[in-house]
């Protein structure tokens, strides 16, 4: 059985998020102190199996026009069990007043997000890495 809780309902520990990221090779350079800052500026959801964090996702938003779903991660041992869909449903309910919700994903996830009514666009996404720049 899985327990789904928003950050305001149950604290999501930065250490557990880091462990979950590490389990799938995401962002090894990220530090717990920075993850704590990230949590303070996001709407986040965690999924627990007993005391282990097995799913996490968050939203960043201006609170009116735009929101971005970020960092949707599910531990490999519990994938394909509907966890991602339920996390998205709960997050989307929290931000139902926002005009446009966007996300980034790899090609293999287009079908999954399409089933959640997201549509691929022809816009080009550009990033600027500012870490280590002087």
Q: Can you give the pLDDT at residue 16? A: 97
Mean pLDDT per block of 10 residues along the chain (134 residues) reads 95 96 90 95 97 97 97 96 97 97 94 95 89 64
What are the residue ranges spanned by the domains of the chain? 3-114
Q: Can you give the pLDDT at residue 134? A: 54
CATH superfamily of 3-114: Gcn5-related N-acetyltransferase (GNAT) (3.40.630.30)
Secondary structure (DSSP) of 36-86 = HHHHHTSEEEEEEETTEEEEEEEEEE-SSSEEEEEEEEE-GGGTTSSHHHH
Helix and strand numbers, DSSP H then E, in the chain: 4, 5
Total residue length of the chain: 134
- Give me 29's structure tokens: 């350079």
Q: Can you give the pLDDT at residue 133? A: 57
């Amino acid at each position: 059985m899985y327990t789904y809780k928003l950050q305001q309902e149950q604290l999501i520990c930065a250490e557990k998020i880091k462990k979950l990221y590490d389990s799938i090779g995401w962002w090894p350079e990220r530090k717990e102190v920075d993850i704590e800052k990230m949590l303070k500026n996001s709407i986040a959801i965690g999924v627990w199996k007993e005391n282990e964090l097995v799913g996490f996702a968050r939203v960043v938003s201006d609170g009116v026009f735009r929101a971005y779903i970020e960092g949707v991660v599910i531990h490999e041992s519990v994938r394909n069990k509907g966890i991602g869909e339920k996390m998205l449903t709960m997050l989307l309910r929290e931000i139902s007043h926002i005009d446009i919700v966007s996300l980034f994903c790899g090609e293999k996830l287009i079908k999954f997000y399409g089933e959640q009514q997201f549509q691929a666009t022809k816009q080009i996404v550009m990033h600027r890495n500012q870490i280590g720049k002087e």
